[in-house]
Structure 1
Amino acid sequence: MEFDVIGVEDWLNVHERDAAWDIAQSTIASLTPDELRELDGRDGAELIERLAREPQSYGWIEGSPAFKAEVQTLYEHEIDPRRILQTNGCTGANLNALLAVVRPGDHVIAEWPTYAPLYEIPRALGADVEHWTVRRELGWLPDIDELERLVRRDTRLICINNAANPTGAVMDADMLGRIAQIAASVGAYVLCDEVYLPLDEQVGYRSMADIYDRAIVTDSVSKTYSVPGARIGWVIADDEVSGAIRTLRDYTMISGGVANDALATYVLAHRDAVLARNRALVLSNRATVQSWIDGQPRVSWVAPRGVSTSYIELDIPVDDETFCLRLLEEYGVLLVPGSRFGLPCGARLGYCARPDVLREGLRRLGEALADFDR
């Protein structure tokens, strides 16, 4: 079993610490300790008091009851807490879910290109993976009719990323319903990575967990909730898959740790405040980027639907990796080249950075692009 390098992670691992102006990330401006303390209105006493009384043991192996109770409130339907398993971020949720479901020779359909583990892990596990390709003319969504042609009687799993990394495209409830119908016609599971929550309230978004009984949903507090440092995610699945993941977790993580569980629970308990802060930041920043793009002859995008990540297309005479390296070296600005995702010439723009960082990063990016016209 061999795993390919994840292009975006390899790029960030090498370059992110060299950037003065990081506008590549997809986490909404990570919360500082001071901002976290403000959430409960008591200078963080709620979190501090909980940590003070908790022994630093392994803690609750599957996630504390308080954590699971907060996760339950994120969904429309009541979910048995035994079907909610805490993981090491959404990365760990996806890994454990795929290890639990995919067998050598299985037919897997995966949205492509998007977050690479959703198709690379099944391939490494020996599955027959077919790509369900996203299309620029469809707003970076795949064609639902193509999924009907791809599905087979022996299809085991359909993998999607909603909202999508890096494009910020969102499959609405109607499209998710069609996917569920197609999957149900052959008894396939649908794994939906939901780590990016659309914050534009005009988007008709629902979780796949509320649409399909064979859904496997993964999520975390890293992106939308702005605390990737907690390294806490979760996976929700039916009893059979949850049982398999429960065994795998003993091999891959055991527990998330008492402090991390407490932090994630605290953030989810105050998610209304976090989401209000993040919604205002994302929507304001999106307007900033749109205004900047309107004045840039070499840049275009399909505006993201209130999702923290986006994709800009670049009309430049060099490949995007060469350009992004020069941008970093000469201007101190970090983007992720589109080639790292298998997308056309362009870059992931993490417009969810703090506004001052975004504005300066865009200014410098504009200067780098203007060099082509001098």
Structure 2
Amino acid sequence: MQIAPFGVELWLNEFEDSARLNLAETSISALSLREFFELTGLGDSALDELLDARLSYGAIPGSERIRTAISGLYENVTPDLVTLAHGTIGANHLAHLVLTDAGDHVISFSPSYDQHAAIAESIGAEVTVLPLLPENGYLPNLQELREAVRPSTKLICLTSPNNPTGTLMDAAMMAEVVGIARSVDAYILCDEVYRGVEAPGVEPVPSVADLYEKGIATSGLSKAFSLPGLRVGWAVIPKNLKAQFADQRDYSIISVGVLDDLLGALAIEHHEVLLERSRSILNRNRAVVEQWLENEPRASWVKPDAGSAALLKIEAPVDDRTFAIGLLEQTGVLLTPGSAFGVPEHYRLGYTCSEETLREGLAEISGYLDQLG
């Protein structure tokens, strides 16, 4: 099976370790285990649980404890409809393997996370990629979506909040998308890993798993929960797909492991304090970026609604990859070039770091633009 190179991951794998000021990272200021225990108020009893955990495979589909905790993040989800995976990326992969066959029609959007077109294409599906444009706030054009669906459409793929733009479809738009999918009996796969960290004044949107009988919601602990080192992701699935997800999981994952399962359960049981910390970091840093943009006429954005990423448009005399490499080499600042997402002359900014790092990094971008002339 041939698959397209994963542009954003190739970029990060090559350059992330050499960054002095990482403004490409979208996991929100990852917690140490000590910080996690202190923030959640977990005491010796939780530590004893970890020390006493026997390092077996554990429950293959995930422990009842963690699946119960995950189901509590939704309105109408029971634990038996939750299947665990290695991160949201693993949950997305499982979903594509279950839902997509050669010859199926799949609809995705761009810019978005590369998985949602590349895996379907590698399987042999016909993939229609619809553009998300800045003049539409990087939101889907519903008329284009209506015209794109057909009787053979098997799957519509979304990321909401979007990666890399940070835009969020509101409840009314999500209801429209559900109606379009239902009109051709298509599934919706919605990557919701950035859900729960909306900007002030932005109304949270129900999960697709609560809105649509053929909705599959994927998420995990790597972004909003600030725990990317725990490779815990999940898919919330319709009941009729349980056996198929289990079959694919058995071939590719088996289990997430006892320690990740236990720490993941503890995190989700304390999700409110973890998400509040993340929102506080993002709200502070979003204001820092806005302040910088007010004084930097060569840069602009569509203000993100949620999540931890945004697309910056930067007016530079070189292409985005050349600019990003030069910026890194000259200043140590890492951005992700938009061409990795199919959006040249833009840059994904992750505003998840310390305020000091963000302010210094943005100042270095301005200085490098001055240097380029």
1:69 matched residue in structure 2: 68
Shift of 1:46: 4.2
Shift of 1:141: 1.0
Determine the C-alpha separation between the residues in 2 that align with 1:276 and 1:40.
Answer: 11
Say whether the 8 Å CA contact 2:96–2:120 is kept in structure 1: yes
1:147 matched residue in structure 2: 145
Counterparts of 1:169-208 in structure 2, within 5 Å, are: 169-197=167-195, 198-204=197-203, 205-208=205-208
**Cα displacement string for residues 42-92 of structure 1 (whole angstroms, at most 9, x for unaligned residues):** 4x4343122133211101111111101110111112x23221001000010
Shift of 1:201: 4.7
**Cα displacement string for residues 154-205 of structure 1 (whole angstroms, at most 9, x for unaligned residues):** 1111001101111101111111110110111111000000011242252232
Q: Secondary structure at the match of 2:121?
A: helix
2:326 matched residue in structure 1: 326
Determine the C-alpha separation between the residues in 2 that align with 1:233 and 1:123.
Answer: 23
1:17 matched residue in structure 2: 17
Counterparts of 1:352-371 in structure 2, within 5 Å, are: 352-371=352-371
**Cα displacement string for residues 216-252 of structure 1 (whole angstroms, at most 9, x for unaligned residues):** 1110000000001001000011122221110111111
Q: Secondary structure at the match of 2:84?
A: strand
Aligned residue identity for 1:55: R
Determine the C-alpha separation between the residues in 1 that align with 2:225 and 2:183.
Answer: 35
1:302 matched residue in structure 2: 302
Counterparts of 1:338-349 in structure 2, within 5 Å, are: 338-349=338-349
Q: Which moved more, 1:239-248 or 1:164-173?
A: 239-248
Q: Secondary structure at the match of 1:39?
A: helix
Determine the C-alpha separation between the residues in 2 that align with 1:6 and 1:155.
Answer: 24
Determine the C-alpha separation between the residues in 2 that align with 1:206 and 1:369.
Answer: 41
2:244 matched residue in structure 1: 244
Determine the C-alpha separation between the residues in 2 that align with 1:181 and 1:63.
Answer: 32
Determine the C-alpha separation between the residues in 2 that align with 1:41 and 1:192.
Answer: 32
Q: Which runs of 5+ in 1 are unaligned?
A: none
Shift of the 47–3 alpha-carbon distance from structure 1 to 2, 3 Å rule, reads farther
Determine the C-alpha separation between the residues in 1 that align with 2:10 and 2:69.
Answer: 33
2:234 matched residue in structure 1: 234
Counterparts of 1:72-91 in structure 2, within 5 Å, are: 72-77=71-76, 79-91=77-89
Say whether the 8 Å CA contact 2:61–2:84 is kept in structure 1: yes
1:280 aligns with 2:257: no
Q: Secondary structure at the match of 1:109?
A: strand
Aligned residue identity for 2:48: E
Determine the C-alpha separation between the residues in 2 that align with 1:274 and 1:246.
Answer: 30
Aligned residue identity for 2:252: T
Say whether the 8 Å CA contact 1:313–1:344 is kept in structure 2: no
Shift of 1:33: 2.2
Say whether the 8 Å CA contact 2:164–2:310 is kept in structure 1: yes
Determine the C-alpha separation between the residues in 2 that align with 1:310 and 1:284.
Answer: 15
Determine the C-alpha separation between the residues in 1 that align with 2:66 and 2:193.
Answer: 17
Say whether the 8 Å CA contact 1:97–1:241 is kept in structure 2: no
2:351 matched residue in structure 1: 351
Q: Secondary structure at the match of 1:62?
A: coil
Counterparts of 1:27-38 in structure 2, within 5 Å, are: 27-38=27-38
Say whether the 8 Å CA contact 1:47–1:262 is kept in structure 2: no
1:129 aligns with 2:127: yes
Say whether the 8 Å CA contact 2:161–2:306 is kept in structure 1: no
Count residues with an aligned counterpart: 371
Say whether the 8 Å CA contact 1:200–1:306 is kept in structure 2: yes
Say whether the 8 Å CA contact 2:216–2:237 is kept in structure 1: yes
Q: Secondary structure at the match of 2:25?
A: coil
Determine the C-alpha separation between the residues in 2 that align with 1:181 and 1:46.
Answer: 48
Shift of 1:27: 0.6
Determine the C-alpha separation between the residues in 2 that align with 1:132 and 1:220.
Answer: 26
Say whether the 8 Å CA contact 2:23–2:350 is kept in structure 1: yes
Determine the C-alpha separation between the residues in 2 that align with 1:167 and 1:46.
Answer: 41
Shift of 1:112: 1.7
Q: Secondary structure at the match of 1:230?
A: coil
Determine the C-alpha separation between the residues in 2 that align with 1:199 and 1:354.
Answer: 19
Determine the C-alpha separation between the residues in 1 that align with 2:45 and 2:109.
Answer: 41
**Cα displacement string for residues 110-163 of structure 1 (whole angstroms, at most 9, x for unaligned residues):** 122210000110010100100121011011112011100001011111001101
Q: Secondary structure at the match of 2:206?
A: coil
Q: Secondary structure at the match of 1:149?
A: helix
2:271 matched residue in structure 1: 271
1:60 matched residue in structure 2: 59
Tell me the percent identity: 39
Q: Which moved more, 1:264-273 or 1:158-167?
A: 264-273
1:292 matched residue in structure 2: 292
Determine the C-alpha separation between the residues in 2 that align with 1:369 and 1:45.
Answer: 52
Q: Return the TM-score normalized by structure 2.
A: 0.97
